[in-house]
Amino acid sequence: LWGVAEKGPTASEEENLEIIRRSIHAIRDIDEGQRIGEDDVAILRPATGLQPHQMSKIVGGVASKDIAANSALRSEDVEGLSE
């Protein structure tokens, strides 16, 4: 039997994961205390922030600090996400 039973990215693919994957980014300035709307965020490359599957937790959430346009969102940027 050829190959391996466990599948996953190759070493060369691992090097590029951050570049090819996407994350949630602010597309305009978001002020501390502002409720985050669908028009405030987008799913863009690179994957340096929250994963796209968390979008439903972000939209409608409240910014815990000022978030600059074009920056990747992190859990500490949205009230209730930081642990």
Q: Which amino acid is at 57?
A: K
pLDDT at 1: 59
Quote the Cα angle for 33-66-69, to 5°.
120
Which whole-number Å values give the CA distances from 34 to 1, 15, 62, 63, in the listed order? 57, 36, 6, 6
Instruction: Tell me the per-residue pLDDT of 33-59, one tens digit each, with 9 for 90 and over.
Output: 999 999 999 999 999 999 999 999 999
CA-only gyration radius of the chain, Å:
16
**Strand partners for 25:** 42, 72
Residue range 59-67: mean pLDDT, rounded = 97
pTM of the model: 0.82
Is the pLDDT reported for residue 20 higher than 90? Answer: no
Is the pLDDT reported for residue 66 higher than 80? Answer: yes
